[in-house]
């Protein structure tokens, strides 16, 4: 018998003919339904939707709709962006980042967000997989974008820059504001396509999946919309379930947007769910801990959506916290990786009045599938929350049967928010998306309170600061070093980052002789390997855990790396590293 876990709570009917901007920005015959068929409107007219952290500039719905139209009109007339064309956003957070998303969606296009710290090679890979036709880039990442665009044979006039407060635009490139003005000065030149939002792609969000290089997760409009509604029902947004001061999400609250919008957590929960809940969002360009404290005090931030490294910084810098008025904080959600019991207790004591807990999700499920319940002010320490409405879960045991309460196995998820699969990658899709279910690769159990407990990762992916890192990708890079003939990368525990990569390498005969003959020479080779990775990979993929020389990489008869053996060896070699909290 198959044991399936799910909640009894139901979801409202969501229209299938609405795109993301039509659902979130257009209120004629509003379908923003949450409970009992009630129609709920957007942020009150007096509250801004977006606030620019650096300047305090406030942007309301009217300006958002105007800028979205202007940009869409210019993208259509100047670049001929239309149905299913991909626009790649290569930028840090910016108040025009969501404008760019919604403008592309108005045209029926697809958005692919990329990490602005990528190397040109990493960016080129994403351009080629997504088949991007236009790049909108942060000025700081312009040089990398130009290099990648040239390699991809994309004309440089198809690179547009985001505007940055108090900075001039790079010479020779149009900015988003330039295009907005251009589009507003012309008659409407596009018609929003009629779509089925269950199948019409909205995003190609890159995830490492279970192995290998990052894969483009194909996310339709419906997935994001329904996940926001799942969260709204789960947290009783708009319901009079408690006295006003105790309600978790209230119109007029203010959230901070430090999570990157190219990441699924930032995109769905920190942006769209927050705005749906009628909460203003302070958009932070680049995270800096003390700057975040200043912003909390300045804007009276009430809601923090963060990842464990942020929580660790609060716990490790309690003297610094005393300099700022943080009394406005009353809700903290941590996601992307588990928190230790000790860290939970610390953050509970720092914010004794706040609602604090964890959530669980992944790119392949278009974010959250569980979160700490509305009935508890504190999430269960070490737990990942309870299943959200509409989500079903199974525990697949090693013998192929399905587990019941408290039995351990691979967590499998069915949710209406599940992605369609991996874009143009049939084999990887078959491995992860099975009969509508997502095999998460996470070892878990579900207790009788319906709490999910994530115990370990069955798959080989590491989670570094909430980002997925595929060991095979780093191993391929390391093998490009002239002194290396074989390599295996494992994750080791780290209090700040969750995990950090450690590389076991087999040296060439010549390099091995040099290392054996001199400790100093061995150290130079290790440093050279680390630099090689640093020069070719984004910062969170670097070998912070170090390099260890081994005579052979253990493998099974079929040649597959016995990574578990080296994980055990890593535990013997190194105690969990405690990274210094960086402000």
Domain 5-13+208-457 and domain 60-195 have a common topology: yes
Q: Strand pairing of 86-90 and 132-137?
A: parallel
> What pLDDT, on the 0 to 100 scale, is given for residue 59?
96
pLDDT in tens, 371-420: 999 999 999 888 999 999 999 999 999 889 999 999 999 999 999 999 99
- Reading the block at residue 364, the tokens are 């392949």
CA distances from 108 to 87, 101, 200, 287 (A): 11, 11, 8, 32
- Reading the block at residue 439, the tokens are 């095999």
Judged by average pLDDT, the poorest of 63-67, 255-259, 287-291, 558-562 is: 558-562
What is the chain's mean pLDDT, rounded? 90
> What pLDDT, on the 0 to 100 scale, is given for residue 43?
45
Give domain limits for the chain. Answer: 5-13+208-457, 60-195, 463-573
Give 95-116 as a DSSP string. TTHHHHHHHHHHTT-EEEEE-T
Owner of token pair 């080296």: 566
pTM: 0.86
In whole angstroms, how large is the CA radius of gyration of the chain?
24
The distance of Cα 463 from the centroid of its chain, to the nearest Å, equals 12
The class (CATH top level) of 5-13+208-457 is alpha beta
pLDDT in tens, 196-247: 999 999 999 998 654 567 899 999 999 999 999 999 999 999 899 999 889 9
Domain 60-195 is of which CATH architecture?
3-Layer(aba) Sandwich (3.40)
Q: 463-573: which CATH topology?
A: GMP Synthetase; Chain A, domain 3 (3.30.300)
pLDDT > 60? residue 44: no
Confidence of residue 30 (pLDDT cuts 50, 70, 90): very low
pLDDT > 70? residue 356: yes
pLDDT > 60? residue 496: yes
CA distances from 506 to 255, 475, 547 (A): 48, 12, 10
Pick the residue with more confidence: 524 or 563? 524
């Amino acid at each position: 018998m198959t044991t399936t876990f799910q909640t009894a709570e139901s979801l409202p009917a969501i229209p299938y003919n609405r795109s993301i901007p039509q659902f979130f920005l257009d209120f004629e015959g509003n379908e923003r339904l949450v409970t009992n068929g009630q129609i709920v409107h957007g942020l009150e007219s007096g509250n801004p939707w977006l606030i620019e952290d650096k300047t305090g500039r406030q942007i309301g719905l009217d300006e958002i709709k105007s800028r979205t139209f202007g940009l869409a009109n210019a993208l259509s007339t100047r670049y001929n962006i239309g149905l299913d064309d991909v626009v790649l956003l290569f930028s840090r957070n910016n108040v025009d980042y969501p404008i760019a998303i919604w403008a592309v969606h108005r045209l029926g296009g697809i958005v692919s967000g990329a990490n602005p710290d990528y190397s040109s090679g990493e960016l080129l890979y994403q351009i080629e997989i997504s088949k991007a036709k236009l790049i909108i880039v942060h000025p700081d990442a312009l040089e990398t974008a130009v290099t990648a665009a040239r390699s991809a044979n994309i004309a440089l006039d198809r690179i547009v820059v985001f505007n940055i407060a108090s900075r001039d635009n790079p010479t020779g490139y149009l900015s988003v504001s330039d295009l907005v003005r251009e589009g507003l000065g012309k008659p409407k030149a596009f018609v929003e396509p009629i779509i089925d939002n269950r199948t019409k792609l909205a995003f190609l969000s890159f995830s490492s999946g279970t192995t290998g290089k990052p894969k483009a997760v194909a996310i339709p409009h419906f997935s994001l919309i329904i996940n926001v509604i799942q969260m709204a029902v789960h947290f009783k947004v708009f319901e009079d379930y408690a006295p006003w001061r105790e309600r978790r999400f209230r119109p007029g609250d203010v959230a901070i947007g430090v999570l990157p919008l190219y990441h699924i957590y930032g995109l769905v929960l920190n942006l769209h769910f927050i705005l749906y809940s009628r909460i203003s969002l302070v958009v932070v360009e680049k995270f800096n801990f003390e700057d975040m404290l200043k912003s909390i005090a300045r804007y009276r931030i009430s809601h923090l959506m963060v990842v464990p490294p942020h929580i660790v910084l609060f716990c490790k810098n309690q003297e610094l916290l005393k300099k700022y008025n943080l009394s406005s904080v009353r809700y903290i959600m941590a996601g992307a990786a588990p928190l230790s019991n000790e860290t939970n207790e610390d953050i509970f004591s720092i914010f004794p009045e706040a609602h604090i807990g964890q959530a669980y999700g992944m790119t392949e499920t278009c974010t959250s599938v569980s979160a700490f319940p509305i009935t508890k002010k504190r999430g269960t320490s070490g737990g990942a929350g309870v299943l959200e409405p509409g989500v079903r879960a199974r525990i697949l045991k090693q013998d192929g049967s399905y587990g019941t309460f408290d039995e351990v196995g691979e967590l499998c998820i069915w949710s209406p928010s599940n992605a369609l699969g991996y874009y143009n990658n049939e084999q990887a899709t078959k491995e992860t998306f099975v009969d509508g279910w997502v095999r998460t690769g996470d070892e878990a159990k579900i207790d009788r309170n319906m709490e999910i407990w994530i115990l370990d990762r069955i798959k080989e992916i590491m989670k570094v600061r909430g980002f997925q890192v595929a060991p095979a990708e780093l191993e391929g890079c390391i093998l490009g070093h002239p002194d290396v003939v074989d390599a295996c990368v494992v994750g080791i525990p780290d209090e700040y980052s969750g995990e950090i990569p450690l590389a076991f390498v087999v040296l060439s005969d010549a390099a091995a002789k040099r290392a054996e003959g001199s400790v100093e020479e061995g150290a130079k080779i290790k440093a050279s390997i680390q630099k090689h990775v640093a020069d070719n990979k984004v910062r969170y993929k670097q070998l912070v855990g170090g390099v260890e020389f081994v005579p052979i990489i253990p493998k099974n008869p079929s040649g597959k790396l016995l990574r578990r053996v080296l994980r055990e060896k890593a535990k013997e070699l190194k105690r969990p590293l405690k990274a210094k909290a960086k402000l």
